[in-house]
Each structure stands twice: as structure tokens, then as C-alpha cells.
Amino acid sequence: MLPGAPARLHPSYPLRRALELAHPGERLGAWVRGARKPLPLRAGGRDLICASDLGYLLRRCLRVLVRQRAEVLACEADELIAWRTLQIVVGAPYLPRLTGLRDLCPELRLGPGRIAVPLGLGPAEPILVACAAARVPVAATWIDYRRPPRIPSSET
């Protein structure tokens, strides 16, 4: 697993090298910046789709190339999907009571003025409806890809 959030490939990373990382018969995704529409590349029985929309790649590819610091890694799509998190910025100087939201999503994490809710493949709308029902003043939201915190093992 990656130690932090994945990033798009660096603009100087050669796509020819990315295409070489695809297995024959596999469609490999490359998360890039600035692609107005998905760009399919094919050579030698290898397929690469370059796109700036990570969700698009996760729905179409089993592995996706992402950057972790200076290193390029081919991550399993299922692993990246598990990192999908809804970030909610609370438009108040305090965090209100979140009992209804905790019932819906017990693994939510709180930060200063922010709520992070792991989504996986789930939609964000039920979480936002629960925020509205709990009268949580939502100032902004976005989907992020964050590795869930490690849970200490109870094994000794």
C-alpha cells in the first residue's frame, strides 16, 4: 500500500514507458493532468488509457498508474477505490452533533472544521442527506483518495 494519497503522473513522465508497464491483453490506466478527454494508446498488444478523471479509469481498468512522490506505481483499482473518501468542510466554527451521521457511517473521521467519510464504491449523496438532516452547515465537499488509517492489531 502507498503511505499517502496518490497523485497524478508527472507531466514529464514518458507515456511510452507507461505503455510498457501494461501486460499484453490488459487495459492499464494512467492518471494524468490536463487530459480534456481520455486518450487511448495501443502498441504491441498493450493498451493504455490516459485520463485526468481517476473515477473514469477505476471503472475501466484493473490497474492504474499513479505517482507516489517520485515513484510511479501500478495500483490495483480495487485498492484505490477503497481509498475513496468524501471530504466535507463544515461552515461553522465548531463541529455539531454527528450522531445520525455516525449511525450511517461509523468510520467517519473528524478534523479541524472537516469531516472525512470513507465511501469506497458508495455514493456521496446519502452522507450529504444525513448532514442536511443533522443540520450540519456544509461549506464545501469533494472526493479525495486517502488511505484509511491503520487499525492497531490486537494480536500479540
Mean pLDDT of 15-19: 91
Give the Cα-Cα-Cα angle 84, 85, 91 (nearest 5 degrees).
Answer: 155
H helix runs in the chain, sequence order:
15-20, 54-60, 77-82, 99-104, 125-133
Model pLDDT for residues 87-126, shown as the tens digit of each residue: 999 988 777 777 777 877 888 888 888 899 988 878 899 9
**Structural domains in the chain plus CATH codes:** 15-80 (no CATH), 83-145 (3.30.70)
Q: Which of 125, 78, 135 is nearest to 105 (CA)?
A: 125
pTM: 0.70
Model pLDDT for residues 28-77, shown as the tens digit of each residue: 999 999 889 999 999 988 999 999 999 899 999 999 999 987 889 999 99
